[in-house]
Structure 1
Amino acid sequence: MAVISKATVRIAAAVALAAIAGCSAATQGGPPQSTSKGRVAPAKVPATRPVRLIGDGSTAYTGAQPHQPRPARLKPGRKPPQFVVFSWDGAGEDGQKLFSHFRAVGKKYHATMTYFLSGVYMLPTDKAELYEPPGHEPGASAIGFNDVRGIKDTVAQMRGAWEDGNEIGTHFNGHFCGRNGVGSWTPEEWRSEIEQAVSFVRNWKTNSGLKGEPPLPFDYAKELVGGRAPCLEGQRNLIPAAKEMGFRYDASSSGGLQTWPRKIDGIWDFPLQEIPFPGRDFETLSMDYNFLANQSGSTHGDRAMHTAWGQQMRDGILDAFDRAYQGNRAPLFVGDHFESWNGGTYMKAVEEAIKEICPRKGVRCVSFKQLSDWLDAQDPETLARLQDLPVGRAPEDGWSAYLSDTPEVAAGPAPAARIMPVAG
């Protein structure tokens, strides 16, 4: 493996530059500003499905989410699937049309993904004071808010993404990092942040005035089962609040390794992982921004280097994939932002990685929620054996021998998500 101490230094450098990264809108000086051309047509709720509106009609019950695999318990002696999760922080549809673009990419390569929505993208600027961020004045946000067109376009993509089988998680709201940021919040403050994120989704019609738009075809309070904290800070106090609010996983940890996940107080811990950095003697986190921080330290670096930087990230993801695919089969987690940093270098790298990885035999490109379903369906002894495998290490005597005497029991349905209490 690479020298972890050096990687940690690079991670710290990336966190220090978080004010540049923020989330999807942070580096653009505001929230998504939308256009109407060139996007994937939003999926509509089929007329044959029952629609029961919730509250002001922003959301609705329409039945179970389409295109969800039924998790099955791994049979004795069988090699586990190679799971890969591509996820997006601060997901929103703006003039770059990256949300709709990657929905199309997912369909093409049979990949479902997790889109972490920033709740303030459901709130127009003139309603900013409805947001009461912990430790800050009402209406404060490090990433601004949205406009009505941006809300409409983002909702359309969320609607379609869910109908496609993708997950809508949360990136919480105001993206506060560093001093007085999410790292200093108490469990009670995290609970408030989650409740507000859900409320903004459940009331986007009232807050935006878009009364005539179709509802989201799901109840966010029920569908929301996980998130990623801004700047990967604050997980310790987030976990108790997340557990109370019915979350099943958290993706906020940094510096994880490519090993099988474990739980923290009953919550699956899905960290960004240390992955190879081609041409360097250290590893970095499996996120676009961390490659950027180590390459240019700027979102507008040397144009002459864009192609090389993109190739470096693509190759790093593929090296990490191969290390798991030929080794311990641990899930690979890749985090991204809908951004055009360094000329769209990292978006191209991620798309090329999806194209190479997801069609491979034995590979399942899934959402974090779907991965949670599969893990919860497994026998604890099987999971313990998988968790014992180090990075890149396949069982010495082969999978058949290593998992030969694990129990084979039919898997039941995935655990139901609790409906969270919602403020407002």
Structure 2
Amino acid sequence: MREFSRRGALGLGLGAAAAMGVAGCSSGGKAGSGNLGPLKDRSPKPSEPAAKPIGDGSTADTGPQPHQPPKPVPLQPGETPPQFVVFSWDGAGEVGNGLFPRFLKVAKDHGAAMTFFLSGIYLLPESRKSLYKPPNNPVGASDIGYLTDDHVRETIRNVRQAWLDGHEIGTHFNGHFCGGSGSVGRWTGADWQSEIDQAVSFVTNWRTNTGFTDLEPLPFDYRKELVGARTPCLLGQENLLPTAEKLGWRYDASSPGGTQVWPKKKGGIWDLPLQALPFPGHSFEVLSMDYNILANQSKNTTRGVPANYPGWRTQATGTYVNGFRRAYETNRAPLFIGNHFEQWNGGIYMDAVEEALKAMADKKDVRLVSFRQFTDWLDVQSPAVLAKLQGLGPGQAPAGGWAGYTKTA
């Protein structure tokens, strides 16, 4: 689940990251169980819509998703655009460290919606790994670990709760192959189609594959829910996009790196990349993801010197807050932040993203949304207004203020 651009420094200070391998995510089925006890199944409440089982009952149609914002409307002439912030999570597996439920609570406490890019094999027991046939890799292979049965259970429960809380469930695909001849960077459109079909199958058939009969279904039709993704290690977007467009996806968050500007479409769908943010104490910028910050702090280890943790946590928090402030005070470009449910360097990146979210949440005009919700807003804006927004560079405020700038669109 480690993400960084394969294009070296990119002018963003990613040299340390570029030197690191990407064998996969350090979380997996054999991870320590931590101190999180078994999560109780969430009993259906009268306010929840009736479920209509789909297929084997792993998923169900429960109607419109709860806790969605009002229908978006076009920006009016002279109106200041909102400051959108999207927090997203790659893999989205709960491995007993309590991070998934922790951030569901953080989101609820601050009125935030997020995007969870679920890895399909996190709902597939390791005993059934032969069901996974990754393109250009051996049957059952994966560069991230399969989860234990208990962690598969916890992941199902948390994904279910996430959707009921109003969050988006996207995909991080399956085996997270970043290197060698089987890398996703080498996959064809047909390879991506196979990988997507399998990811959807693992999510929509977990009941058959696990044998679990005591869990509530995921309360959504995943084939309709799935409208966007982030690829492993930000590789393979070029060949993915035609397949994504064919499937009717609305956005892709797999670009190897962008800047804080208003997005455009690529290959017919919205291109929503991680972004270069000001990195406190340095003249270069760093990509807006926990792992990239780590790579520039502790180099090739996820367990650096503990004495450095407080300073690194402050630096990571400052990276997100600096990026937010730059956009908020100038071009109002959306801010995209990527994370993993990991305790790298003592869990400082989890603390940093929580502190940053709290610092942003109460500001005027700020909307903490999912990628899909942000795409909803983009899709109702006039091309003229979008062109005006897209014409502003990173840190560039509209000449004469917003009242005059958007009024002329």
> Shorter-chain TM-score: which interval?
over 0.9
What is the root-mean-square deviation in Å for CA atoms of aligned residues?
Answer: 1.9
Equivalent-residue separation in structure 1 for 2:36 and 2:145 (angstroms):
24
Aligned to 1:53: 53
- Judged with a 3 Å threshold, the aligned counterparts in structure 2 of structure 1 residues 251 and 12 are, in CA distance, closer, same or farther, namely farther
Q: Does 1:156 align with 2:157?
A: yes
CA distance in 1, matches of 2:68, 2:229: 19
- What does 1:17-416 correspond to in 2, within 5 Å? 17-19=20-22, 22=24, 26-28=25-27, 30=29, 37=36, 45-47=44-46, 49-69=49-69, 70-179=71-180, 180-297=182-299, 298-406=301-409
Distance in 2 separating the partners of 1:17 and 1:30: 23
Work out the number of aligned pairs and report it: 399
Report if aligned partners of 1:33, 1:149 keep a CA contact under 8 Å in 2: no
Question: Which stretch shows the higher mean deviation, 326-335 or 43-52?
Answer: 43-52
> Match of 1:27, as an amino acid?
S
- Equivalent position amino acid for 1:285 in 2: L
Question: Can you list the C-alpha shifts for 1:195-214, whole angstroms capped at 9, x where unaligned?
Answer: 11000000000000102311
Rounded to whole Å, the distance in 1 between the matches of 2:8 and 2:156 is 42
* Offset, 1:15: 4.1
Deviates more, 1:244-253 or 1:97-106: 244-253
Q: How far apart are the structure 1 equivalents of 2:31 and 2:65?
A: 27
Structure 2: state its 5+ residue gaps.
1-6
Q: Which secondary structure state, in structure 2, belongs to the residue aligned with residue 8 of structure 1?
A: coil
SS of the residue aligned with 1:134?
coil
Q: Distance in 2 between matches of 1:151 and 1:51?
A: 22
Amino acid at match of 1:194: I
Q: Secondary structure at the match of 2:327?
A: helix
Contact 2:313 2:352 in 1 (8 A): yes
Distance 2:267 2:61 in 1: 31
Structure 1 length-normalised TM: 0.90
Contact 1:171 1:230 in 2 (8 A): yes
Cα separation, 2, equivalents of 1:141 and 1:397: 53
CA apart distance, 1:93: 1.1
On the 8 A contact 1:10/1:284 being kept in 2, the answer is yes
Residue of structure 2 in register with 1:414 after alignment: none
| Deviation (angstroms), 1:150 | 1.3
**1:417 aligned partner:** none
TM-score by length of 2: 0.93
Q: CA deviation at 1:17?
A: 1.9
Question: Kindly, what percent of the aligned residue pairs are identical?
Answer: 54
> By how many angstroms is 1:382 displaced?
0.5
**Amino acid in structure 1 at the alignment position of 2:199:** A
**SS of equivalent residue, structure 1 residue 144:** coil
Given that residues 12 and 287 in structure 2 are in contact (C-alpha distance below 8 angstroms), is that contact kept between their aligned partners in structure 1? no
Please report how far the alpha carbon of residue 44 of structure 1 lies from its aligned counterpart in structure 2 after TM superposition: 5.1
Change (3 A) 1:83 1:212: same
2-side partners of 1:202 and 1:109: how far apart? Answer: 31
CA distance in 1, matches of 2:179, 2:387: 36
Q: Structure 2 counterpart of 1:150, which letter?
A: H
Letter of the 1:197 counterpart: A
TM-superposed CA distance for 1:237, in Å, is 0.3
Q: Report SS of the residue matched to 1:216.
A: coil
Paired amino acid for 2:151: G
In structure 2, how many angstroms separate the alpha carbons of the residues matched to 1:42 and 1:333? Answer: 32
Question: Equivalents in 1 of 2:16, 2:194: separation in Å?
Answer: 30
